[in-house]
Amino acid sequence: MGVKTFGEERFAKKIAKAIVDYNKSAVQNGNEFLTRTLQLAELIAHTVPFKDKHKHPATRSFQAIRIFINAELDELEKVLQSALTVLAPAGRLSVISFHSLEDRMVKHFMRKQSQGREIPKGLPLREDQIQRNQTLKVIGKAIMPTDAEIAQNPRARSAVLRVAERLN
């Protein structure tokens, strides 16, 4: 797992090759390896084509490094599972995510908990005889920030709010 997975970086292989090439060149020329984040950011900027002038091309790579080092996705999974044990019936679970990996995890978790247990098809049971043990009910659709909210707080542009209610 790395830049491609955690940063959803299309150019992960190109970046990895650039880092390896840089370090090989450093060894041959008696220079030092990449040791500073600024060096890495500049190397990525020269390696990755970028169109969005408001977003540095190394942003995704540093995001991936942060997510990996902090085990953020593992922690999110633990929090979501723990929420089921502490949430009272009719209690609401509200989660704000700031990038697509987090949002995908939250969405899949809520969907899975709202569908309950998988029952094999073809069993001679009516729907009312099946106990699925659903634990959550998804409330509404994902909520995105309005243009006014983004104008007031540009960091909110990638926020997604999802809400579910505890059933039993």
What are the domain boundaries of the chain? 3-69, 72-166
Rounded percentage of the chain residues whose pLDDT exceeds 90: 52
Inform me whether the pLDDT recorded for 21 exceeds 80: yes
What mean pLDDT comes out for the span 125-144? 82
The CATH code belonging to domain 72-166 is 3.40.50.150
- Provide DSSP, 41-93: HHHHHHHS----TTS-TTHHHHHHHHHHHTTHHHHHHHHHHHHHHHPPTT-EE
pLDDT of residue 96: 97
- Rounded to two decimals, the pTM is 0.75
Q: Which of 114, 106, 149 is nearest to 132 (CA)?
A: 114
Q: CA geometry: angle at 49 spanning 44 and 50, to 5°?
A: 95
What is the rounded CA–CA span in Å between residue 121 and residue 117? 12
User: What pLDDT does 76 receive?
Assistant: 96
Q: Which of 85, 112, 113, 100 is nearest to 142 (CA)?
A: 100
With pLDDT > 70 as the criterion, what percentage of the chain qualifies?
Answer: 90
- pLDDT surpasses 90 at 90: yes
